[in-house]
């Protein structure tokens, strides 16, 4: 199923915590509320990128633009001087350009700066509520 989702150009997303994945969602950039948080609402923390970013081997790239036109959900790649160039600020490290490139000219490389992530999904949930200023209200409901 994951292979089919990837082939269809869907982005694998999961909980942003260091324990095991509690879910894997396969998101389309047109109507998924998670992806649209970044693509349309321009909220940089609507979700966090993976710890990888795309890197194009410019000496191999033919400039065919498949990655630009058919694969990148974030519009993070453009063709400059007949070569694909990645804007790493916009890249979420989904890898769709890697699996879509007909000649294997793209790879994922680990980012230099990886933000710390919560140890568990429970910690992640508490952090989200805290950042939204709703942790106190949530705990009150849970204790009632």
Pairing mode, strands 83-86 and 24-27: unpaired
Number of residues that bind ligand SF4 (CB under 6 A): 27
Q: How many CB atoms lie within 10 A of CB 109?
A: 11
Is the separation of the CB atoms in 65 and 41 below 8 Å? no
Q: How far is the CB of 51 from ligand SF4 (least distance, A)?
A: 12
Is the separation of the CB atoms in 44 and 102 below 8 Å? no
Residue 38 in the binding site for ligand SF4 (CB under 6 A):
no
Q: How far is the CB of 136 from ligand SF4 (least distance, A)?
A: 36
The rounded distance, in Å, linking the Cα atoms of 117 and 124 is 8
Residue window 63-102: x/- pattern of binding to ligand SF4, with contact defined by CB under 6 A: xxxxx---xx-x-xx------x-x----xxxxxxx---x-
The rounded distance, in Å, linking the Cα atoms of 37 and 89 is 15
In this complex, which beta carbon is closest to ligand SF4, that of residue 27 or of residue 121? 27
Is the separation of the CB atoms in 12 and 2 below 8 Å? yes
Residue 10 in the binding site for ligand SF4 (CB under 6 A):
no
Residue 29 in the binding site for ligand SF4 (CB under 6 A):
no
Residue 54 in the binding site for ligand SF4 (CB under 6 A):
yes
Is the separation of the CB atoms in 37 and 47 below 8 Å? yes
Among 2, 30, 103, 109, binds ligand SF4 (CB under 6 A): 103
Residue 62 in the binding site for ligand SF4 (CB under 6 A):
yes
Q: How many CB atoms lie within 10 A of CB 103?
A: 11
Interface residues toward ligand SF4, by CB under 6 A: 54, 56, 61-67, 71-72, 74, 76-77, 84, 86, 91-97, 101, 103, 105-106
């Amino acid at each position: 199923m994951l292979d089919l989702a990837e082939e269809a150009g869907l982005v694998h997303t999961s909980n942003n915590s260091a324990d095991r994945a509690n879910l894997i969602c396969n998101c389309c950039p047109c109507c998924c509320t998670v992806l649209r948080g970044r693509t349309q609402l321009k909220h940089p923390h609507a979700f966090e990128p993976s710890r990888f970013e795309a890197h194009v081997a410019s000496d191999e790239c033919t400039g065919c633009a498949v990655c630009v036109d058919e694969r990148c959900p974030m519009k993070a790649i453009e063709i400059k001087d007949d070569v694909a160039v990645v804007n790493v600020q916009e890249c979420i490290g989904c890898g769709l350009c890697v699996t879509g490139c007909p000649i294997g000219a793209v790879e994922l490389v680990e980012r230099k700066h990886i933000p710390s992530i919560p140890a568990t999904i429970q910690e992640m949930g508490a952090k989200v509520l805290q950042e939204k200023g709703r942790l106190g209200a949530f705990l009150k409901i849970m204790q009632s």
